[in-house]
Amino acid sequence: MTKQNEYKLTNFWVGLAAGVATMTGLAFLLGTKQGRGIVKKLLRFSENLEENLEKMIEKVDKQQSKKKAGKEPQLMEDVGQLISKIKQVTNHY
């Protein structure tokens, strides 16, 4: 006799569990006052998503530019020291 695939029944239970979880979530979001409030907040956020993302990106850019401004001279000194050490090592050979 040939051995049948034992995972077919397992896939059924995984699918059933995923379906039950999805439907439970939808029932909560659409069937309760608290869930409808969450949906409204998500819709408001998604309507202004482009503006929100632009503001977030601007904040990150400002923070990065402040960090780079403070570290750039130190980085140039480190690179200069590294180059001088490389020159010293290559002159010995």
Parse the chain into domains and list their residue ranges: 8-92
Scan for tokens 């040939």, then name that residue.
2
Helix (H) or strand (E) holding 65, with range, is: helix 49-92
The distance between the two most distant Cα atoms of the chain, rounded to a whole number of Å, is 79
pLDDT digits (tens, 9 = 90+) for 38-93: 999 888 888 877 777 778 788 888 877 776 665 555 556 677 777 777 777 666 54
Nearest to 52 by CA among 62, 63, 40, 44: 44
Structure tokens at 58: 């601007």
Which one is predicted more confidently, 34 or 63? 34
User: Of 66, 81, 20, 15, which is closest to residue 89 (Cα–Cα)?
Assistant: 81
Reduce the DSSP state of residue 2 to 3 states and report it: coil
